[in-house]
Amino acid sequence: MKEFPKRILQSFFLEALYKKEKSMLTIDNVKIFINKFNPAQAERNLNWALEFWKGERIAIPTSKIYKCQRCEYKTKCGEK
């Protein structure tokens, strides 16, 4: 298992994954998803989520209804 992180880095650089927006590696039946980090987008997403938690906006139901099945807050947005 100590070899695992080294293999990830080798694959990462050999395949130039760092240049892609999104990439996926599969090593020993393990899927590794790599996404380019966009600080501005991350801040927008965080601020959007915080607006709800700070009471500045109402809950917006997801378009992916299967997510609501396990959500402990589903009563706040009316999804059941």
pLDDT tens digits, one per residue of 44-79:
999 999 998 999 998 887 788 888 888 887 777 654
Q: 9 vs 4, 14, 60, 64, CA distance in Å?
A: 9, 8, 39, 34
Q: What is the pLDDT of residues 4-60, one digit of tens each?
A: 666 666 665 555 555 666 677 777 788 877 777 788 999 999 999 999 899 999 888
Domain ranges of the chain: 3-35, 39-77
